[in-house]
Structure 1
Amino acid sequence: MADLIESVGQLLREAAATVVLPSFQHLAEDEVEEKAPGELVTVADRRAEEVIAAGLRALLPDSVVVGEEGVAADPSILGRLHDAGPVWIVDPIDGTGNFAAGKGPFAVMAALIRDGAPVAAWILDPLTDSIAVAEAGSGAYVDGVRAAFPGNGLGTDELRGAAMTRFLPPPLRAAVRRGTPTLSEVLPGQHCAGKEYVDLVTGRQHFVLFWRTLPWDHVPGVLLAQETGGVARRLDGGAYDPTDDRRGLLVAANDAIWVQVHDALLPDGVR
């Protein structure tokens, strides 16, 4: 697996260097479009996914690729997540809105699943060339250094994290706003799930709350979090499963913090 971890990381770096970064801050108007209300796609997203998908298939010839742009073109591809595997999940540019606006953060992400369970993950920040990787049962690493959340025994009023409230149903959004003052800081989010997850596993924040939970946005980061002792659960406390399409996900640096944040922001009866 070590060779595969290295090979995929190099593939993502090559795609970033040859496709993503050359387009950054150089996109023409006709190279950005809205594929769904509020959802942008660029020529770089599509081309990067093509390059990454071809490289991943070459690494594991019996594999299939479930990529964000591929699913946008053919939603039936999403059903391949139920395959016995190996299945690759690819987000060619996570944070496309930032990328299209000529600013960071954005990320290039991939994950490998077998029998529906993540076994490896990669999150690359093209602007800094920083890469976070994880292998199930073997830990998570950021630029070769093992990630380990340092905080234990934190009070609720010491916890800092992000909550993506834009798409929350109104009752849930109102509950989060009521609970915000009980925490140290609730950030609005960086419009890049990959950056949120890396900030979590490196201790910059203690939790992150999402509503939209598409697999390419979350499978890589969830494995990273879990490999540093973090937990990712649905808002009702159920386990995160990349093959289900429910919404709502709370990820925290450990179980105790998950409970503290859940009790603060999502009181009983509000889901």
Structure 2
Amino acid sequence: MAVDTSAPPEGPVAAPDCRPIYIGLVILVALLLIALLVAAVSLTVRHGNGPEHTVSAPLAGRDDARLDLTSGVGLVTVRVRDLGDRLYRIGTPAGSGTVPRVTDQDGSVLVGLGASDDGSGGGPASVEILLSSRATWRFRLAGGADEARLDLRGGPVSGVDIASGVSSVELWLPRPRGTVTVREGGGASEFTVHAPAAVPVQVRVAGGAGQATIDGTVHAGVSGNTVYPAAGWDQARDRYELDAVGGLSQLSLDRS
């Protein structure tokens, strides 16, 4: 009897296991999505869309207060307005990477700027300060600034002191109660003051100025300790004394 020496027929060939490939592709896509999400978040922070930081305190019956800004900033904006039951509201812009640090010491509100806890942002330091119109304020800028815009027309003030150097200052004043001193002590490139109409303002340029424009009259090359008296200032009960101690490139006083 003949013997069949041929190999037995093979069974069906198993298909290759592609699951590791699919899993690898899924992981790769997930990693790409995560990378895109991180990049988008980083881009958002760099463009200033992070959280805004605001600090406020209750009015608590106070009718006079003092605020000192102790940190140097790129831009400080101050306005006086009705804040209801709040004494002040102080904030830094979204994504700036800085937050206000506020303490109330012996009746003075001390405002500094510190790094945010999340480390986000990277823009220039700036701060907006809103002051209650229900209190009489004394404001002092002690830390210096590139630009200061101080609109105090919304309520009474007892004094303004620009104690540190500022590149540009623009100041709007309310009607005074008694004699109110505005002092500039740190030097500035441009110092512009808008005072109410018919209010006497006596100007003393102690530190000299390249140019001073007083109620429309231009004075060039102003030497130190020059005084520009205001008509009726001696007899006025409510008046301003503008004392420019630091050197100025340009000083301007007009009426708003």
- Is TM more than 0.5 here? no
Q: TM-score, normalised by structure 2?
A: 0.26
Decide which structure has greater helix share.
Answer: 1
In our comparison, the structure showing a higher alpha carbon Rg is 2
Greater strand fraction, Structure 1 or Structure 2: 2
